[in-house]
Amino acid sequence: MERNLRFDEYVDRRNTKSLKYDFAAERGATKEALPMWVADMDFKTSSYVIDALKQTAEHGIFGYSERDNSFTEALVDWEKRRHGYDIKPEWIINTPGIVFALATAVKAFTKEGDAVIIQQPVYYPFSEVIVDNDRRLISSDLVLNEETHSYEIDFADFEKKVKEEKVKLFFLCNPHNPTGRVWTKEELIKLGDICVENGVIIVSDEIHRDFVFEGKHIEFTTLKKEYEWQTIVCTSPSKTFNLAGLQISNIYIPNPVLRKKVKYQIAASGYSQVGVMGLVACEAAYRNGDEWLEGVLKYLKENREYLEKRITGEFPKIKLIRQEGTYLSWLDFREYGQSGAELKKRLLTEAGLWFDGGEMFGKTGDGFERVNIACPRKTLEEALNRLKRL
Ligand SMILES: Cc1ncc(COP(=O)(O)O)c(C=O)c1O
């Protein structure tokens, strides 16, 4: 039986080596500021995961490990059960995280000076792994529809840039962090066709796919055989079950030629097996975590509604961007007329709030803030009360 369904419970995360709670000074924030930035949740994970980890911990030997048949079976079953997605065991590669997989793809499929395209504002390590590997960062910026408060793709701009810049690789973020979009079938097909026609390899980062509140998450590679052949799918239990610190992700590469190139780069980086705790946690979550996940989804949906109600009712200068997926809300503070740096300072010092400043996600993110709402309602309530000090 699942025991961790009390999402209202406050769990003190201070002094647990938590990036969110224990490194404020190092990261330019204050100890008093309510941390609602990095994307992990303030909820305890499934009791099944904790039990499985305890059993491994009590065994007391933490030697090398590897993905075994039991793990693979749980993963294949999860994909089928939750996403209607048939994956083949030979497609799977494990990496210690998705950002590692993104950087590996850059090295495997492009050379120095090649162009990689992204859609800003987007999760900032997308840019970092491109720039840090001396590749050219090209962004086909998403366009905010000011009436619907939702972001749209400028397909003509995307295609033009793909052709003119001779783009080799595309990082697709679906659901999209931070804009909260869950791309529709039509949007994915338009993007996919442009990539196929121009020989662009796609990395489909689907880390947030279990958090969808409006619309439906579509597995990109199931749309067309050509997409399957040209795509690397990045998935992970880390957001879904709050396991980011255990460093495990599952990457699917149906095309054996692409898979070989990725495996080569992983070996070249000196990385071999993932850690035993990550394997154990992922298997337990995928086998037995459904009830916990349903509980979290219900709770987040209510948090999302609570936030929407209060922002629209009490904060006329702030606009909430429509959040179809993820547990990250994207708030438009542009009416304050301040730069990202000024806004961040005011939020920290006047309101005692530590959000992720929008400018980190690309220049079109300036004036926006990303707020992590995966916390007990009381925390969210407190955050909104503090926001009134601005
Ligand atoms: C879109 C996206 N990809 C990847 C990650 C991080 O993945 P990992 O911790 O597995 O490297 C995040 C975390 O917020 C994310 O939002």
The CA distance from 24 to 128, in Å, is 22
Mean pLDDT, the chain, whole residue set: 97
Kindly provide the b/e burial profile for residues 121-146, where b requires at least 16 CB atoms within 10 angstroms of the residue's own CB: bbbbbbbebbeeeebbbbbbbbebee
pLDDT, tens digit, for every residue of 24-80?
Answer: 999 999 889 999 999 999 999 999 999 999 999 999 999 999 999 999 999 999 999
Answer yes or no: is the C-beta of 246 below 6 A from any ligand 1 atom: no
Q: How far is the CA of 328 from the centre of ligand 1 (A)?
A: 12
Alpha-carbon distance values, 100 to 84, 104, 381 (Å): 26, 6, 35
Angle between helices 155-164 and 185-197 (to 10 degrees): 20
- Residue of 273, 229, 272 whose CA lies nearest to 252: 229
Structure tokens at 277: 């705790």
Residue 121 near residue 361, CB atoms below 8 Å: yes
The CA distance from 72 to 78, in Å, is 10
Domains in the chain, please, with CATH? 19-46+290-387 (3.90.1150.10), 61-286 (3.40.640.10)
Tell me, what DSSP letter sits at residue 274?
A: P
The label of the residue with tokens 């500021």 reads 33
**Which residues lie below 8 Å from residue 201, measured CB to CB, with a gap of 6+?**
105, 109, 168, 169, 170, 195, 230, 231, 232, 258
Give the per-residue pLDDT at 120. Answer: 98
Is 0.95 surpassed by the pTM of this model? yes
Q: How far is the CA of 39 from the centre of ligand 1 (A)?
A: 8
Residue 309 near residue 260, CB atoms below 8 Å: no
Give the per-residue pLDDT at 108. Answer: 98
Answer yes or no: is the C-beta of 103 below 6 A from any ligand 1 atom: no
- Residue of 231, 255, 271 whose CA lies nearest to 66: 271
Answer yes or no: is the C-beta of 361 below 6 A from any ligand 1 atom: no
Answer yes or no: is the C-beta of 120 below 6 A from any ligand 1 atom: no
Judge whether residue 221 has pLDDT over 90: yes
pLDDT, tens digit, for every residue of 236-285?
Answer: 999 999 999 999 999 999 999 999 999 999 999 999 999 999 999 999 99
E-strand ranges in 65-114 read 92-95
Q: How far is the CA of 136 from the centre of ligand 1 (A)?
A: 21
- Testing ligand 1's pocket by substitution, the residue of 37, 99, 271 carrying the most ligand atoms inside 8 A of its CB is 99
Judge whether residue 369 has pLDDT over 90: yes
The label of the residue with tokens 């840039």 reads 161
pLDDT, tens digit, for every residue of 103-136?
Answer: 999 999 999 999 999 999 999 999 999 999 999 9
pLDDT, tens digit, for every residue of 197-220?
Answer: 999 999 999 999 999 999 999 999
Dihedral sign from CA coordinates of 53, 57, 59, 62: positive
